[in-house]
Amino acid sequence: MVQIADADDVPTPPVIQFGSNFHVGKSSATRDLLACNNEVYAPSPICCDLKSVHMGVKRLRKQMHDRYRTKEKMAKKLRQDELRMNSQDFDNTALDSTVRENRSENSKMMKLITGLSRKFTELMNQNRRAKELSHWEAWVRGRIPNNLLFQEEPSIYTAPVPRTDDPYVMVRDASIHTRGDEDVDTDVHWDT
């Protein structure tokens, strides 16, 4: 077997042998080496047997077709993955906006509920205080003697009438009676 040098004059291992059949070596290094190569070189001149040339061309055509199919499958898979990722991004954006809207609605509802709860507590406290005051008012009314209670509400339009037992009225009347000795008719009463 003849060693072939590559472009850098480094000998390449004999991985492809041409003869009556086209063989690829069984080692994983051979598969890795062939996976990156787009061109296959024969290590020695190909014999002029038409059958072996035809078989070699068929195998090369199959390899090229398989490589093409693999590339197409990978491109299709990448496009599908990209579309799926883009649709997920779109779905995530829509989901994010929906979550934000729901949080906003939830926040508004919580504020409303908190306000109503606070108002309800306030009204309950006022109602409790009113009941306590009503209870204390009834208790105080029960403790006041009857002679101090008004039987009916006093009128707001009462005219002040001087009473005879009032000291002011007594002094006034006494002074009037002392002056009354001077030509004053004692039968006339003065109303003030």
**CB 22, CB 55: distance < 8 Å:** yes
CA quadruple 132, 137, 138, 139: dihedral, nearest 10: 90
The model's pTM = 0.29
- Residues 132, 58 within the same domain: yes
Sign for the CA dihedral angle at 71, 73, 79, 81 comes to negative
- Residues 38, 62 within the same domain: no
- Residues 77, 132 within the same domain: yes
127-180 pLDDT, tens digit each: 999 999 988 888 887 887 777 766 666 566 666 666 777 777 788 888 877 665
- Residues 13, 38 within the same domain: yes
**CB 43, CB 14: distance < 8 Å:** yes
Task: State how many domains the chain has.
Answer: 2
- Residues 18, 84 within the same domain: no
Q: What is the pLDDT of residue 35?
A: 60
Instruction: Say if 23 falls within a structural domain.
Output: yes
Q: If residue 4 lies in a helix (H) or strand (E), which one and from where to where?
A: strand 4-5
Instruction: Say if 68 falls within a structural domain.
Output: yes
- Residues 63, 41 within the same domain: no
- Residues 93, 27 within the same domain: no
Q: Which residue has the higher pLDDT, 32 or 136?
A: 136
Q: If pLDDT is split at 50, 70 and 90, which confidence band does 47 have?
A: low
Q: Is the pLDDT of residue 3 over 50?
A: yes
- Residues 63, 137 within the same domain: yes
Average pLDDT over residues 10-15: 62
- Residues 67, 123 within the same domain: yes
77-129 pLDDT, tens digit each: 888 888 777 766 666 777 888 889 999 899 999 999 999 999 999 999 999 99
Q: What is the pLDDT of residue 128?
A: 93
**CB 47, CB 10: distance < 8 Å:** no
Q: What is the pLDDT of residue 83?
A: 78
**CB 15, CB 25: distance < 8 Å:** yes
Range of the domain at 15: 1-47
Q: What is the pLDDT of residue 96?
A: 83
Picking from 11, 26, 47, the residue at the C-terminal end of a domain is 47
Picking from 141, 164, 186, the residue at the C-terminal end of a domain is 141
